[in-house]
Amino acid sequence: MALLELKNLTLSFGGLMAVKDVSFTVEENSITGLIGQNGAGKTTIFNLLTHVYRPNSGSVILEGEELKGNRPHKAVAQGLSRTFQNIRLFRNMSVLDNIKVGYLQQGKYSVTEGILRFPSYWREEKAVDEKARELLRAFDMEPYADYYAGNLPYGQQRQLEICRALATNPRVLLLDEPAAGMNPSETEGLMDRINALREKFSMAILLIEHDMKLVMGICDKIVVLNYGCVIAEGCPEEIRNNEEVITAYLGSEA
Amino acid sequence: MTYFTMQLLNGLQIGSIYALIALGYTMVYGIIKLINFAHGEIMMTAAYSIYFFITLLHIPFIPATLLAMLLSMALGMLIEKLAYRRLRSASRLSALITAIAVSLFLQTGYAILFTPDPRAFPVTASSFPVFYLGEVPLSSWTLITIAVALAVMILLQLFVTRHKAGKAMLVVSEDVKGAYLMGIKVNNIVSMTFAIGSALAAIAAALFIVSYPQITPYMGAMPGIKAFIAAVLGGIGLIPGAMLGGFLLGLIETMTRAYIPASLSQLSEGVVFIVLILVLLLKPAGLLGKSEREKV
Amino acid sequence: MPKSKFVSYSINLAAALAVYLLFHFLFSSGIVSRTLIDLFTLCCIFATAAVSLNLSTGLLGELNLGHAGFMSVGAYTAALITLAAGRSGNVGILLLSLLAGGLTAALSALVIGIPVLRLRGDYLAITTLAFGEIVKVLMRSMKITGGGQPLTGIALDTTYTIGYWALIITLIVIYTLIRSRHGRAIISIREDDIAAEACGVSVTKYKLIAFSFSAFFAGIAGGLYAHYAGVLEPSFFDYNQSVNFMVMVVFGGIGSLTGSVLSAFFLTLLPEFLRGIDTYRTLIYSVILVFLMHYRPSGLLGQRELSQRGIARVFRRERLEAQPISGVGGGRAVERENVPASGSAERKADSALRDRTGTSSGTPEEPLEHRMKGRR
């Protein structure tokens, strides 16, 4: 059984059909790529998965259960976490604090316990601090721990967003153009990290990307979207040779 | 019945004034997403201008109003350039606080310059003839107010749909970056928007002070807030919304005041705020608005 | 708790006690006039109001234009309770009435907040304004609150002791709230509410929490004021008063509790010592506000707080760019301007470029030290 299944998802904005009858699956421990032109509906699908939008019809099934929800923070509880196309960091908070926000839902102490500084406060804060630092270490970012997130170099900001999403302990990690704005060597580093992620945390990754080298390089499966509809779903070889995909998006190989 | 019709007309009259002021709010909000808290004060400064033109320079009412319109336009554009332009990319909080600061500045500035003592405006509604439609007394001033407001609104609507600059205004409201890329001089359009809004506020001032001939530095605050509520009621950012909201709010306010029992009379003051909260709860986009989802 | 924290907390408390004793001896010695003592008390009351406003406007990031309304609710509730109880000079009843005032204010924040806090930004600001006006109208129209007439005869029970410690308690509670996971959630909403929601922060819930706490302490400040002035008038707690407090918060630093205290004291004392300047005061404030918003939107102290480390650094004459500091429960990150962000030209251009093409204009790989220095 697939970890995540999208069934006939449809969403229209007024007269504009953003996503039409979209169905595909994401397997456990896999990296699935979601590609297509700008405006094909990729980010919209992310928004649907994380309850930013409500679909007109269709359903999302995670680990066998249909996901229902109307607030994005519920999606996190259900096991879906995402990054954003345009980086959305908490710029005036420290790098460490950014990640700690990701651990929020796993925390237990109440507002009162926090204010009165109960033992649970000290215990949990220490634990969260350690976990956050560990995450930073995995990304070679521990020296940045106390810097303001907004002061980080661009590449590190992107990484921080991924760290923050990881902190929420998702079953499926949704990455929206994580390599945007990166030079080839940074992209390679990112590729390695994403692979390492897949091994270290058992989760699936759904990846929106335009960088074909990255996509073809690490994805187990690729889903191609065009004008809101799925036009192909398969392994990189298949997709690379798919006529429709070539015309719609890839262009003939240079 | 007579009473009802009278109150209805009163409601439409004050509603016209709210509508004219609301247009300024809505156009500015539509174009730069800022609640121009100082807009009510523009109306106040226009009132003072008209007052001084008439009493000191002995200019007749209509030319005085036209001159005041010019002054208001200049003031509006100046405020935009000095206070708001640099903050277009800043946080909402900064922009709002600045708008409040400008509003305070104008209020206290005028209070210092012209003292807070109220001044009586020489031209009053009672100097206008009153007709009788059956049993209902109709002040011609009431009719003039409503007529002027409607005429102005029709002109404005034609402007934004037919004239190039007007259409550019709508475009900038939709998408600032796109407008830039299309070659539209965004700064000029924004200035123009402020100018038009301020001119309308000046007209509103002229209509207002004839019916309520007391001029103080704080006279713009309440009508300003109410006009903003009217804009929200009709649908902020939408020109027809401001018009509809203005008339509607005027009616609601007048009718409530007219029919509320004496013991609760204080509450009629608060009714506009209750309207605001209701609108924001039930249909935040306003009566004519469409709920927009922010693209993530 | 960790030993270092225990020591640190003890030092803070000792400092607060020391400051109190200092004022106490000054005041009871007779050197200081009654007027000045009263002024000090008023400063404490207004500082409490300003600090509580900082929670909703500075830390949560939602402009609250109805703060005086919460004070009003607290003031009238507390006043009515002590009036009903009859006896004056009873500290226990006063404290109870203050608590009741705070709770009533917090309740009103919940009631108005639940439907309204899902609005954002400008709309929320206007709604808080409307709330303040509605409270004013209500207080004017209800018989129990005087029905348009001032409510008189309130026991003048607020002493400088009560005022001072109320302020200290407010500071402690808000400070500990912010330095906890719930506080991080609140601040994250200010930074980017969409991202916060995507991280699992229930934005509505935390807005409610922030507003309720903010209202609670505003209510306490109101109750304190009622027993300071002895007379209550609904029009005292109007939009202008809300703006006054907003000015205090903005001047002192959005997000800086210390800043709010300092500017509250300063702005309350100033008109007393510069009598002639009174009419020009608001005018000058408005000009300063505009300048601040343009050139230093974070206010005087930005997000900085008075801290033991900060004092130590001053003594060691280290530059502020020095070591990053960490600690359990949220470290104090190295200085950065811009709250709210005002965006330097380069960053704007860069982000505009990125938005359009998804690429950046070649981010140079600068060494980290460089990145940290060029921030003013």
The domain locations on chain C are: 1-31, 33-295
The pLDDT tens digits of the residues spanning C307-316 come to: 776 677 666 6
Per cent of chain C over pLDDT 90 is: 41
Mean pLDDT of C141-157: 80
- Cα dist from A223 to A8, A24, A62, B143, C360, whole Å: 14, 8, 18, 66, 27
Query: What is the average pLDDT score of chain A?
Result: 88
Predicted confidence at residue A94, as pLDDT, reads: 93
Chain A residues whose beta carbon lies within 8 Å of the beta carbon of residue B290: 14
Check CB contact of A53 with chain B, cutoff 8 Å: yes
How far is A187 from B98, CA to CA, in rounded Å?
Answer: 43
Classify residue B289: in a domain, yes or no: no
Q: How confident is the model at residue A133 (pLDDT cuts 50, 70, 90)?
A: very high
Predicted confidence at residue C207, as pLDDT, reads: 94
Tokens standing for residue B181: 């890329």
Chain C residues whose beta carbon lies within 8 Å of the beta carbon of residue A75: 198
Total number of domains in chain B:
1
- CB within 8 Å: B97 and C285: no
Check CB contact of B282 with chain C, cutoff 8 Å: no
| Closest chain A residue to the Cα of C354, Cα to Cα | A181
On the question of pLDDT at C366 being above 80, the answer is: no
On the question of pLDDT at C325 being above 50, the answer is: no
Pick the more confident residue, B268 or A116.
Answer: A116
Q: How confident is the model at residue B42 (pLDDT cuts 50, 70, 90)?
A: very high
Task: Say if CB C324 and CB A95 are below 8 A apart.
Answer: no
Predicted confidence at residue B293, as pLDDT, reads: 54
How far is C145 from C246, CA to CA, in rounded Å?
Answer: 26
Residue of A38, A46, A52 best to disrupt the B interface, most CBs of B under 10 A: A52
Classify residue B290: in a domain, yes or no: no
Instruction: Report the amino acid identity of residue B251.
Output: L
Pick the more confident residue, C58 or B127.
Answer: C58
Q: How far is A61 from chain C (nearest CA, A)?
A: 19
On the question of pLDDT at C323 being above 50, the answer is: no
Residue A171, number of CB atoms within 10 A of its CB: 18
The domain locations on chain A are: 1-79+169-254, 91-168
On the question of pLDDT at B290 being above 60, the answer is: yes
Q: How confident is the model at residue C364 (pLDDT cuts 50, 70, 90)?
A: very low
Report the residue count for chain B. 296
Residue A31, number of CB atoms within 10 A of its CB: 24
Task: Say if CB C156 and CB C227 are below 8 A apart.
Answer: yes
The pLDDT tens digits of the residues spanning B101-129 come to: 999 999 999 999 998 888 888 888 777 88
Q: How far is B293 from chain A (nearest CA, A)?
A: 9
Touching C: B residues 42-101, CB under 8 Å: 83, 86-87, 89-98, 100-101
Assign a CATH topology to domain C33-295.
ABC transporter involved in vitamin B12 uptake, BtuC (1.10.3470)
Q: How confident is the model at residue C126 (pLDDT cuts 50, 70, 90)?
A: confident
How far is C371 from C347, CA to CA, in rounded Å?
Answer: 13
On the question of pLDDT at C319 being above 80, the answer is: no
- CB within 8 Å: B296 and A52: yes
Check CB contact of C111 with chain B, cutoff 8 Å: no
Q: Where are the alpha helices (DSSP H) in C117-238?
A: 121-141, 160-178, 181-191, 193-198, 203-229
- CB within 8 Å: B296 and A84: yes
Predicted confidence at residue A15, as pLDDT, reads: 80
Predicted confidence at residue C320, as pLDDT, reads: 45
Chain B residues whose beta carbon lies within 8 Å of the beta carbon of residue A52: 296
The pLDDT tens digits of the residues spanning C159-173 come to: 888 999 999 999 999
| Closest chain B residue to the Cα of A50, Cα to Cα | B296
- CB within 8 Å: B293 and A84: no
Instruction: Report the amino acid identity of residue C311.
Output: I
- CB within 8 Å: B296 and A13: no
Q: How far is B90 from chain A (nearest CA, A)?
A: 14
Torsion angle in degrees (nearest 10) through CA of A127, A128, A133, A135:
110
How far is C174 from C56, CA to CA, in rounded Å?
Answer: 11
End-to-end CA distance of chain C: 37
E strand residue ranges, chain B: 119-120, 130-133, 136-139, 214-215
How far is A211 from A176, CA to CA, in rounded Å?
Answer: 12
The pLDDT tens digits of the residues spanning A96-106 come to: 999 999 999 99
| Per-residue b or e along C74-97, where b marks 16 or more CB atoms closer than 10 Å to that residue's CB | bbbbbbbbbbeeeeeeeeebbbeb
- CB within 8 Å: C329 and A121: yes
The pLDDT tens digits of the residues spanning B45-88 come to: 999 999 999 999 998 889 999 999 999 999 999 999 999 998 88
- Cα dist from B20 to A79, A85, A113, B43, whole Å: 51, 41, 53, 10
**Cα C21 from chain centroid?**
25
Interface chains of chain C (3 or more CB pairs under 8 Å): A, B
Predicted confidence at residue C73, as pLDDT, reads: 95
On the question of pLDDT at C341 being above 60, the answer is: no
Q: How confident is the model at residue C355 (pLDDT cuts 50, 70, 90)?
A: very low
Q: How confident is the model at residue A90 (pLDDT cuts 50, 70, 90)?
A: very high
The pLDDT tens digits of the residues spanning A180-233 come to: 888 888 888 888 888 887 778 778 999 999 888 888 888 999 999 988 899 889
Tokens standing for residue C157: 């029970």
Between vectors from CA C133 to CA C130 and to CA C136, what angle results, nearest 5°?
Answer: 155
Assign a CATH topology to domain A1-79+169-254.
Rossmann fold (3.40.50)
Task: Say if CB C50 and CB C250 are below 8 A apart.
Answer: no
What 3-state class would DSSP assign to A160? Answer: helix
Residue of B33, B94, B108, B117 best to disrupt the C interface, most CBs of C under 10 A: B94
Report the residue count for chain C. 376
Q: How far is B222 from chain C (nearest CA, A)?
A: 11
Residue of C53, C286, C298, C354 best to disrupt the B interface, most CBs of B under 10 A: C286
| Closest chain C residue to the Cα of A123, Cα to Cα | C1
Q: What is the largest CA-CA distance in chain B?
A: 60
Residues 6 or more apart in contact with residue C198 via CB below 8 angstroms: A50, A72, A73, A75, A76, A81, A82, A84, A88
Chain A residues whose beta carbon lies within 8 Å of the beta carbon of residue B294: none
The pLDDT tens digits of the residues spanning C269-278 come to: 888 877 766 6
On the question of pLDDT at C299 being above 70, the answer is: yes
Predicted confidence at residue C313, as pLDDT, reads: 67
Interface chains of chain B (3 or more CB pairs under 8 Å): A, C
- CB within 8 Å: B98 and C341: no
Check CB contact of A47 with chain B, cutoff 8 Å: yes
Predicted confidence at residue C350, as pLDDT, reads: 36
Tokens standing for residue C84: 């009903």
Touching B: C residues 145-174, CB under 8 Å: 148
Predicted confidence at residue A252, as pLDDT, reads: 60
Per cent of chain C over pLDDT 70 is: 80
Mean pLDDT of C22-29: 88
A-C contacts (CB, under 8 Å):
172
Residues 6 or more apart in contact with residue C267 via CB below 8 angstroms: C244, C247, C248, C251, C285
Chain C residues whose beta carbon lies within 8 Å of the beta carbon of residue A84: 195, 198
Residue of C60, C171, C175, C199 best to disrupt the A interface, most CBs of A under 10 A: C199
Touching B: C residues 278-337, CB under 8 Å: 279-280, 282-283, 285-287, 289-290, 293-294, 297
On the question of pLDDT at C181 being above 90, the answer is: yes
- CB within 8 Å: A180 and C358: yes
Tokens standing for residue B149: 């407001």
CATH number of the domain bearing residue B38: 1.10.3470
What's the domain range around B132?
A: 2-282
Q: What is the largest CA-CA distance in chain C?
A: 73
The pLDDT tens digits of the residues spanning B205-244 come to: 999 999 898 999 999 999 999 999 999 999 888 888 999 9
